[in-house]
Structure 1
């Protein structure tokens, strides 16, 4: 393959020369609680501006499309409105023996959103067209269904352009990975970004859950890969989310999405100039945060994850919450681990019974 006449003529060297890694107190040294909180206030405001959507909120208008009783749980397919002319699709999955409508104050609830692949059905032991398949297959390991098996009602939200939210009118096949490139182009021409629209969907899911019987103070959000991106960005932006789980995503922009071929859905104009991935994770503090990372993940290299965790640990230390940062660095690739999911979900228990665990052993 021919190389440019000078290195600076190439695509990445040219554009990455514009990037200067943001330097603030969390990356340059120790900070105290007041400094960390002040930084969070400023950074969250900038993130909100960068992920702004060009419309006002619309009524949710939730409606059930299908309900089925399965082995140990009830699954309802829902539609709800998130933007003008836009309906999100989700599956509300409730374990047998749990009735959110009858529990005083509501039940804990988890929002789960998938990575690239066939879409949200791949978190619920279904194939691309909704037929059942054995549990635990694929790189995502049906982690939403795992949460349900642990007793937590779970809302599985389909990202715009994934699964049943592909552009079928344009002939996109069910087994196509996504329409992120088309979605990113359309969103940018309309004055926003694809991740901003997907984050908006998840924030509207937080709005929806109390109407389904969830306790608004006990809502978690978990995702892997592209879903991990959405979990991290939404958790950073929206303090209503009580716990956040990020699998196979936390890294630095310079060593992952800007260093190699990555999906267009990672693009939010201007974000990398102002905030890096560990900054977004620092915005989750002091809420419980689970980070999963495979030692052999080819698209989110472990050295970038370790550099990011160094920053995140400083944020949690400054806010006296080091025991609420859960790290699972496992011997594997780009795949769900799940070893600390029960510990993360334990933080959604009622405050008078919720354990505050000691700092877990590092699983590196």
Structure 2
């Protein structure tokens, strides 16, 4: 009998712990079928799990343009602004030529254990980093910079480094655990800090005079996908979100051999105690009935097809319960791995166009 540790440093009794999770605050288990009340209560529980102190008030963004270049049909700027009351950060801001205001997308970069670049993974950088960024785009995005692709289609785009990436780092892979431990000691967490910063970045993007605040979306791949659906769940300012290659049921993920069990990188997508209340797709469902798109690869080594389909079923039940089934798109690409291919991107761009451009989307349907 194994009395200690098994699998990827799982306790031998992990199955009992896993089976005891009933996600009592999920919509499917809610006795009172009042969706706005459920969403408000569940969102409050998620907010507590983010482990963030209450701010005394909104910090002025005070943006400053650091550099600017003309990219033909749009302008690329590096802007510095107050990302939180703890400090300022650089963002890559792309704005189409023309009068505006434009629809906008906050593009959230992936993890990938590559910390020397962050926002440069999704927005083409200047000459100093372009070779490294291009190699990453070739590896994960079929050679495209998805932020630039969106700007060429008429969107304003913002990308910001998460703590530990680019000029907010770079971390060394094994240092992620130390960073997490130290943030926990200080009363917060890497995932909670990232979530609050994403909310703040979205608010900054919506505040720009070039942007139509009624048409702000979020898009991300891998860790960026997690951040995109989480942001839509937590922020009313995000009107539509597209998430590529990060969705699963928790129980399907917590099995020996899963990458998440290695720790380290998982800290950026882990809110302590949250899953005593809500499953992963339950949290994403807080975005309902807003438009949401989820894509997954059938050969993704990080997320099994069974876990993806289980999560998709939960998501569909929530959106359909609100008469908004047509606002949820869930796709499994059978022959695709953990990548955001050109074909997947084209589908996402068309989907974003249908909800964010050229006119504002219709009002949300009334919850049933």
TM-score > 0.5 by shorter chain: yes
Aligned length: 337
Return closer, same or farther for 1:269/1:24 CA change in 2, 3 Å cut-off: closer
- Of 346, 354, 363 in structure 1, the residue corresponding to residue 354 of structure 2 is 346
Alignment of 1:3-18 (within 5 A): 5-6=1-2, 9-10=5-6, 11-12=9-10, 13-15=12-14, 17-18=16-17
Instruction: Determine the C-alpha separation between the residues in 2 that align with 1:278 and 1:295.
Output: 18
- TM (norm. structure 2) is 0.82
Instruction: Determine the C-alpha separation between the residues in 2 that align with 1:258 and 1:200.
Output: 29
- Unaligned runs of 5+ residues in structure 2 are none
Alignment of 1:112-127 (within 5 A): 112-116=107-111, 117=114, 118-126=117-125
Contact 1:161 1:183 in 2 (8 A): no
- Do structure 1's residue 312 and structure 2's residue 315 form an aligned pair? yes
SS at match of 2:130: coil
Contact 1:181 1:265 in 2 (8 A): no
- TM (norm. structure 1) is 0.83
- Do structure 1's residue 183 and structure 2's residue 187 form an aligned pair? no
- Unaligned runs of 5+ residues in structure 1 are 357-364
Q: Deviations over 1:138-170 (max 9, x none)?
A: 213422222112211111121111122115xxx
Contact 1:248 1:294 in 2 (8 A): yes
Contact 2:26 2:278 in 1 (8 A): no
The aligned residue for residue 361 of structure 1 is: none
Instruction: Determine the C-alpha separation between the residues in 2 that align with 1:302 and 1:127.
Output: 38
Contact 2:118 2:160 in 1 (8 A): no
SS at match of 1:199: helix
Alignment of 1:1-364 (within 5 A): 5-6=1-2, 9-10=5-6, 11-12=9-10, 13-15=12-14, 17-19=16-18, 20-23=21-24, 26-27=27-28, 34-56=33-55, 57-95=58-96, 97-99=97-99, 103=100, 106-116=101-111, 117=114, 118-126=117-125, 129-131=128-130, 137-140=138-141, 141-167=144-170, 180-213=176-209, 214-256=211-253, 260-262=258-260, 263=265, 264-330=267-333, 331-336=335-340, 337-338=344-345, 339-349=347-357, 351=359
**Following TM superposition, by how much is the alpha carbon of 1:238 offset from its aligned partner in structure 2, in angstroms?**
1.1
Q: Deviations over 1:66-123 (max 9, x none)?
A: 111124321111121133332222111122x334xxx3xx321110111113311011
Instruction: Determine the C-alpha separation between the residues in 2 that align with 1:353 and 1:277.
Output: 27
Q: Deviations over 1:35-68 (max 9, x none)?
A: 3333222211111111141251422221111111
Segment drifting more, 217-226 vs 338-347: 338-347
